[in-house]
Amino acid sequence: MKFSKTLIAASLAFVSADSFAAAFQLSEQNASGLGRAYAGEASIADDASVVARNPALMTLFKEKQLSVAAIGVIPDVSIEGESTNNGIDPSALDDDSIAPSAVVPAIYFTMPYNDKVSIGFGAFSNFGLSTEFNDEYVAGQIAGETEIFTVNLNASVAYKVTEQFSFGIGLNAIYADATVIRKVGANASGIDFGADAVNLQGDDTGFGLNVGLMYQLDDNSRFGFNYRSETDITFDGDFSNELPVGGTGGAKLPGAVDLTLPAIAEFSGSHQLDDKLGLHYSVLWTGWSSFESLEAQVTLPTGDKFVAFEKQEQFDDSFRYSVGADYQYNEDLLLRAGVAFDESPVSQTHLSISIPDTDRFWFSFGGNYIIDQNSNVDLGVSIIRGKTQTFTEADDSGSQWGFESKGHAVLLGAQYNYKF
């Protein structure tokens, strides 16, 4: 069957700009940190969302905490055609909206079990994306529709060793669902324009651990560290296409794509400079070097299995640097602001229409408002600006497509917190 290159191109589309962090990583686990560009997430104890970023911080809470958050992602990801080698006008490649808007929800609960032990639960996401091209896009074999949806269900426990030091550990069950559809492009002679070149749908559940540490230097300074293990995901599902030669005729065959969700580590510091002003910072590392290659495997009706394609990717580990501050404006209102630099792990040689990843700057602001003694709300906004990239990509027919990509976004977050 002649679908190997197309299948791997579809697999590569798991890595897209819609997530607005390194590759397909998400930062949006809460709205409280959004206003600081997520600076200090492993050291500051705003609310129950510490379950996601450092469970050791749960020992700082004396009451039960419930947090419910939603972050709206409004992307502005566009591409412009720069060149072709097949006589098609490059302007036919232009698309000013390849990433739809999305909402990233999260919910957390923490409670002290006794004066030493705290427990917590969370449902959130660390990875996800969505991109969509028109069915009749001329470079259909490298475009199409892509969606990956993940939910991380986390249960954590923390132990206060001393008044200064605590540690926490969490078990994570990660459900992932993926849909990849690729269409036959206008350059493919003899095949219906807009027919499915790839239709791959699958899901899987993986498991991982996270470990957090917290050290209270004094009443005004705290440091935190969190490590989240990598998780292996195999998207088992159905593969089909509508190619007249070597195709499945729309019939479904078992297909699978292996993917490793990378390890994540974060170090943070928080310092209360006076009774109103706090300073926070973070360095977050993501172990993208574990993403060495992609392999797509298909099972034929005879029961035989073969590797449809294997490609070395060799992503680099990446870093995210952030610094933020909060200011106690009055008894009820806390203001926040922050900036961040998000480094891309994708090398220039691996950029593609479905991986228009780039370095990004975050500019954020927000605040927290106390409603009453038991409840408060957080609002946050981040403006994300990505670097313009130019690259060339080839499809299965040998056509060369040259692009210029731009990726920006606005994030809007709201969160309700209740303690009891």
pLDDT value of position 14:
37
Opening angle at CA 94, ends 89 and 97, nearest 5 = 165
- In this structure, are residues 18 and 131 in contact, taking their beta carbons and an 8 Å threshold? yes
Nearest 10 degrees: CA dihedral of 225, 152, 98, 7?
Answer: 110
Q: What is the pLDDT of residues 1-36, one digit of tens each?
A: 333 333 333 333 333 334 455 557 888 899 999 999
- In this structure, are residues 310 and 298 in contact, taking their beta carbons and an 8 Å threshold? no
Which residue, chain included where needed, has tokens 């920006």? Answer: 408
pLDDT value of position 2:
33
- In this structure, are residues 212 and 55 in contact, taking their beta carbons and an 8 Å threshold? yes
User: 190 — alpha (psi -120 to 50), left (phi > 0) or beta?
Assistant: left
- In this structure, are residues 345 and 316 in contact, taking their beta carbons and an 8 Å threshold? yes
Closest CA to 97 of 198, 15, 18: 18
C-alpha to C-alpha distance for 121 and 108, rounded to whole angstroms: 6
What are the angstrom distances between the C-alpha of 192 and each of 10, 21, 93?
A: 19, 37, 19
- In this structure, are residues 93 and 79 in contact, taking their beta carbons and an 8 Å threshold? yes
pLDDT value of position 61:
96
Closest CA to 120 of 133, 130, 107: 107
Closest CA to 109 of 73, 169, 153, 165: 153
Which residue, chain included where needed, has tokens 């969700």? Answer: 261
Buried b (16+ CB within 10 A) or exposed e, 207-221: ebebbbbbbbeeeee
Cross-strand pairs, 220: none
Tokens of 135: 């069915």
Spans in the chain with pLDDT lower than 50: 1-19
Q: What is the pLDDT of residues 250-274, one digit of tens each?
A: 778 888 888 888 999 999 999 999 9
Global confidence as pTM? 0.86
Return all residues near 29 (Cβ < 8 A) that are at least 6 apart: 49, 52, 53, 69, 106, 124, 125, 126
Cross-strand pairs, 152: 124, 174
Return all residues near 68 (Cβ < 8 A) that are at least 6 apart: 105, 106, 107, 108, 415, 416
pLDDT value of position 405:
84
C-alpha to C-alpha distance for 348 and 338, rounded to whole angstroms: 29
DSSP conformation letters of 64-107? -EEEEEEEEEEEEEEEEEEEESSS--GGGG-BS--S--EEEEEE
C-alpha to C-alpha distance for 148 and 239, rounded to whole angstroms: 16
C-alpha to C-alpha distance for 292 and 178, rounded to whole angstroms: 20
pLDDT value of position 13:
36
